[in-house]
Amino acid sequence: MLYGAVETGGTKIICGVMDETGELLDILRFPTDTPEYSVEKIAGFFSNHNICAVGIGSFGPVDVNEASDTYGNILDTPKLQWRNYPFLQRLKSKMKIPMVIDTDVNCACIGETEYGAGKGFDNVIYITVGTGIGVGVVVNGRSLKGMLHPEGGHILLRRNPNDIYEGKCPYHKDCFEGLASGPALAGRVGRPAFELDEDNPVWDIEADYIAQAVSNYILTYSPEKIIIGGGVLEQEHLFPIIRNKVKEYLNGYIRTPQLEQIEDYIVPARLKGNQGLYGAYFLAKTLIQKG
């Protein structure tokens, strides 16, 4: 059997066709445009393949409650054309096969949990630090949803004493995303984040904010694995600084074998950019197996 997987982001949409073993047989990438155009492109691509279900990892906010009348609708997004757009319904009306939708970061977390750095664990956090910051949460083997879905990129942190940058989040200014996304780094130093040398003092501030957030997730979700990806974490030298600062913030309050072996606990993403697609694939496959 073949399965479809879709990952929609602010700038691009990726569609994949995978077989039972997870082999990626075909892939399409195109820039995110109007919702109707995007739906046409997605449905057009999948019409060339005999797929039995589609899983979607969508940018948020999105209604991920399967029992809701508006399941699969994009909610109050700044992308005006997508606001309140019944994305899942429109795709279903074109393709008439079972579909399932979750957030892009929950899908990324599911992908890493099933096939990547979180394999073998049931409670995993995935953090992406890129243009924005998103946090996916897997609890007891399933992505966490609730009133809406977790929005862990917007938690409030303690300001680093060496940081005077006002923050970039349009809603909260100096939340985690406002202080530590790629654009926040660029706003603080006046240059794109990828141009900065390893010894730039701004990395210490960046690692501090990521470590504070990770400490909060450890205290609230008690994950068995913490995976960090996204463009900014291409800077692998951040990992040892983050791990040391997490130990400092927790200050011995939590003592577990995982924290003793922290280099195996807080780890880079393994599915380099494809985690969302693999998570969406896993959801599609599970949907069929459930019957």
The pattern of x and - marking residues 2 through 41 that bind ligand ADP according to CB under 6 A reads: -------x-x------------------------------
Amino acid at 83: R
Question: Of these, 192, 201, 237, 256, which contacts ligand ADP (CB under 6 A)?
Answer: 192
The pattern of x and - marking residues 97 through 136 that bind Zn ion according to CB under 5 A reads: ----------------------------------------
Rank residues 70 and 131 by Cβ distance to ligand ADP and give the closer one: 131
- Which residues, numbered 136-155, are part of the site for Zn ion (CB under 5 A)? 154
Cβ atoms within 10 Å, residue 34? 12
Rank residues 51 and 117 by Cβ distance to ligand ADP and give the closer one: 117
**How far apart, in whole angstroms, are the C-alpha atoms of residue 237 and residue 230?**
14
Applying CB under 6 A, what is the total number of residues that bind ligand ADP? 14
Shortest Cβ distance from residue 247 to ligand ADP (Å)? Answer: 24
Rank residues 113 and 235 by Cβ distance to ligand ADP and give the closer one: 235
Shortest Cβ distance from residue 133 to Zn ion (Å)? Answer: 9
The DSSP bridge partners found for residue 100 are 55
Shortest Cβ distance from residue 134 to Zn ion (Å)? Answer: 11
Question: Of these, 29, 33, 194, 244, which contacts ligand ADP (CB under 6 A)?
Answer: 194
Contact segment (CB under 6 A) with ligand ADP among 44-52, 191-199, 211-219, 275-283 equals: 191-199
Rank residues 179 and 193 by Cβ distance to Zn ion and give the closer one: 179
Rank residues 212 and 258 by Cβ distance to Zn ion and give the closer one: 212
- Which residues, numbered 94-133, are part of the site for ligand ADP (CB under 6 A)? 130-131
Q: In sequence order, what DSSP letters do the residues of the chain get, joined into one string?
A: -EEEEEEE-SSEEEEEEE-TT--EEEEEEEE---HHHHHHHHHHHHTTS-EEEEEEEE-SSB---TTSTTTT-B-S-SSGGGTT--HHHHHHHHH-S-EEEEEHHHHHHHHHHHHSTTTT-SSEEEEEESSSEEEEEEETTEE--SSS---GGG-B-PPPTT------BTTTBSBHHHHHSHHHHHHHHTS-GGG--TT-THHHHHHHHHHHHHHHHHHHH--SEEEEESGGGG-TTHHHHHHHHHHHHHTTSS--HHHHTHHHHEEE-SSTT-HHHHHHHHHHHHHHHH-
Residue 211 binds to ligand ADP (criterion: CB under 6 A): no
- Binding residues for ligand ADP, rule: CB under 6 A, are 9, 11, 130-131, 182-183, 192-194, 230-232, 234-235
- Binding residues for Zn ion, rule: CB under 5 A, are 154, 169, 171-172, 175
